[in-house]
Structure 1
Amino acid sequence: MSLTYVNQILPSLFSGAWMTIRIFFWTLVGALPLGVLVSMGLRSRFSPIRWVLNFYVWLMRGTPLLLQLMFVFYGLPDVNIVFARYPAALFAFILNYAAYFAEIFRGGFAGINHGQYEGAQVLGLTYTQTLRKIVLPQVVKSVIPAVGNEVINLVKDSSLVYVIGLGDLLRAGNVASARDVTLVPLILVGIIYLLLTLVCTYALRGLEKHYSYYR
């Protein structure tokens, strides 16, 4: 492995890694709050809302993310809904991961004893205050491991954007590997992915430690 060659291909790999990080970051920003809202809707007493949201979760979890990406970018233009490549990727990723997060948070909400809601009501807290100060901190603590698994998966799933022509990390490695007929770029891609997942792992452990007082 020549250091000169490594230095030559690193800029393109870092450029691809930056696209991967952008997809990862904005997917989390969009999917986590949407997942919380959907999870609350899944517990709604209004049946039509539950039916619609259950269908959405079933659809997103029951079809491959790769297919969803292709449908958003190549299929929706047939009904005059057109996305550029990057917004199409974000749209598909956010909808997909929000469905998974919704199921995770639904389980977290189900684990909260109903007596805590009643106790908060006795103390004069509004429903919003009860969620923000009492329920959500406990839910977040209980779902961190499951959310962490999805976060790690998201780092790797971001490579699927190649199907709509976005230049992510894996695509940059594949191009360099095919052009130069060497596995060195793919080895470097693997190292970068490992570093990204390592950062996520330590961040999640820090989050677990932050919520460790809820025991």
Structure 2
Amino acid sequence: MRIISAKGAGSDWADYSSASDKVKADLKAPGSNTGDAAGDVYVSIEHLRGTGFKDVLLGDDFANRIEGLAKNDNISGRDGNDTLAGGAGKDTLKGGAGADRFVLASVNAADADKISDFASGDRIELDSALYGLPVGALPGNRFVTGTAAGDGNDRIIYNDANGKLYFDADGTGAQAQVLIATISNLATLSAGDFVVI
């Protein structure tokens, strides 16, 4: 058994990035942990980092940041205002209760995540350099609901009929739009649901 405890002030992590195989790691119910996380006990740990394999990562009732790294992870934040970052691979992200952030850090369709429970108060986080967008709230003219960009300003395209979320690098269709996520609960989205950092 390992006791993973906070190391003073600040945010503390349970980090399995060096593990040689997948893990299940649960900040709320660590008795269900498997792999390298089996037997671990968490004391005042807020954040969780997975492996380079297909992990199951679960938060607790507080504000967690959970990072999946590579492969197709299943990540659940539970309660609290969580930040979920799947990393590479097609991850399944479930925020749970609270105002959650879903980090989309790839413009590669092979990394398009599934967001299963987007709700009012949640945000989708985009990287300014990666998406070529200004830092801050996503400008309204950069977002469109439909199947394709309508003009040269459009970058983020949401098909509310099937939940597919796309990035269009030029807004004209000259470069093919790329799937970046699927909102599987078909939530209504607007530019205000995105933040660029």
TM-score, normalised with respect to structure 2:
0.24
Q: Which has the larger radius of gyration?
A: 1
Query: Normalized per residue, which structure has more helix?
Result: 1
TM-score, normalised with respect to structure 1:
0.23
Q: Relative contact order (C-alpha < 8 Å, sep 6+): which is higher?
A: 1
